[in-house]
């Protein structure tokens, strides 16, 4: 009679109705969303890429703006997914009780968490597309249309980061709790995964250590695609991302069940 929170989640099409719900709400708040998605990368790329780039010159044979843009495509997707998975999911799960309402329909928590995961990844994808467009306008996408291949990888990266963010939402008592995750997880990854400088500048032991960070693997694939170079160890990088994504989704489902099941 007791359900186990650890029973394997099932993937069902019904989860797409959760994606649709979030999309319809997002569409109503399109203005601020667009400002955030396009405004921020323009400022980053102009400020750091052009300003700092003038001092730095080339990095790894790439103009700094190109190097930076290809890293920010990935990191900004991570940040955007993390915000959605924590603040927005928490809002729907706890104060707004949207999940409670959905649980009274034929949808299960598996479906809700899968829908939220896909939706968060889509928001990450959107911010990546915005940056790629801005970067292209600034002439910082040497890979041309081939850079589009980075987008499916960004989506996978989004799935990877949605899980841990939803885990945090599932165990949070309030919004302040998310500071831990940002300071302990998001910011170190932002700084150490090769967004701003090449991994080779790190001491050797750190170069090995940062391989546990999923963002490192995402950037190792995304950067060459945007720059128009061959990708090394493609399958291994994608496997790491997919492995993280599946494990985190499973944990997220279990912890949301623990929170919402009586």
Partner 1 sequence: MSSMITRLDRRRSELPGAGMAVRARGLVKCFGSLRAVDGVDFDIPVGRCFGFLGPNGAGKTTTLKMLMGLADFDDGALSVLDFSLPDQSREIRRLVGLVPQADNLDPDFTVRENLFMYARFFGLARAQVAARVDELLAFADLTHKADARVDQLSGGMQRRLTIARALVNDPDIVVLDEPTTGLDPQMRHVIWGRLSELRARGVTLVLTTHYMEEAERLCDELVVMDHGRILDQGSPAELVRRHVEPDVIELRGPVSDGVFATLSSMCLRAERHGTAVYVYTSAPAPILEFLEEAEELTVIHRRAGLEDVFLHLTGRELRE
Residues found near partner 1 in the complex (CB under 8 A) = 1-3, 14, 17, 20-21, 24-25, 28, 96-98, 100-108, 261-262
Residue 29 and residue 95 in contact, taking contact as beta carbons nearer than 8 Å? no
Shortest approach of partner 1 to residue 248 CB, angstroms? Answer: 25
Shortest approach of partner 1 to residue 15 CB, angstroms? Answer: 11
Shortest approach of partner 1 to residue 87 CB, angstroms? Answer: 15
Which H, E and C letters describe 38-101, residue by residue?
A: HHHHHHHHHHHHHHHHHHHCEECCEEHHHHHHHHHHHHHHHHHHHHHHHHHHHHHHCCCCHHHH
For residue 27, the 8-state DSSP code is: H
Return all residues near 257 (Cβ < 8 A) that are at least 6 apart. Answer: 3, 5, 109
Shortest approach of partner 1 to residue 90 CB, angstroms? Answer: 15
Rounded to the nearest 10 degrees, how much is the dihedral formed by the CA atoms of 229, 235, 237, 240? 170
Of the pair 98, 117, the CB lying nearest partner 1 is at 98
Token pair 């993390």: residue: 82
Of the pair 109, 128, the CB lying nearest partner 1 is at 109
Of the pair 1, 235, the CB lying nearest partner 1 is at 1
Of the pair 28, 145, the CB lying nearest partner 1 is at 28
Shortest approach of partner 1 to residue 185 CB, angstroms? Answer: 29
Of the pair 2, 230, the CB lying nearest partner 1 is at 2
Return all residues near 142 (Cβ < 8 A) that are at least 6 apart. Answer: 66, 226, 227, 228
């Amino acid at each position: 009679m007791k359900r186990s929170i650890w029973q394997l989640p099932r993937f069902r099409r019904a989860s797409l109705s959760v994606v649709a719900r979030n999309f319809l709400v997002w569409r109503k708040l399109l203005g601020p969303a667009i400002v955030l998605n396009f405004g921020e990368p323009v400022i980053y790329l102009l400020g750091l890429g052009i300003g700092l780039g003038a001092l730095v010159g080339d990095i790894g044979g790439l103009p700094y703006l190109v190097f930076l843009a290809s890293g920010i495509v990935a990191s900004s997707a991570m940040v955007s997914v993390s915000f959605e998975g924590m603040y927005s999911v928490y809002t729907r799960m706890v104060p707004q009780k949207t999940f409670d309402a959905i649980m009274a329909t034929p949808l299960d928590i598996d479906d809700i968490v899968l829908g939220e995961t896909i939706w968060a990844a889509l928001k990450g994808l959107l911010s990546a597309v915005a940056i790629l467009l801005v970067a292209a306008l600034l002439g910082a996408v040497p890979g041309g249309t081939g850079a589009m291949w980075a987008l499916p990888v960004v989506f996978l990266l989004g799935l990877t980061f949605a899980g841990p963010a939803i885990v945090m939402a599932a165990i949070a008592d309030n919004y302040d709790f998310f500071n831990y995750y940002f300071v302990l997880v998001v910011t170190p990854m932002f700084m150490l995964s090769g967004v701003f400088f090449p991994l080779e500048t790190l001491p050797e032991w750190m170069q090995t250590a940062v391989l546990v960070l999923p963002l490192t693997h995402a950037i190792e694939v995304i950067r060459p695609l945007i720059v128009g170079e061959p990708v090394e160890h493609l399958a291994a990088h994608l496997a790491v991302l997919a492995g993280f994504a599946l494990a985190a989704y499973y944990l997220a489902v279990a912890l949301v069940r623990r929170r919402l099941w009586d």
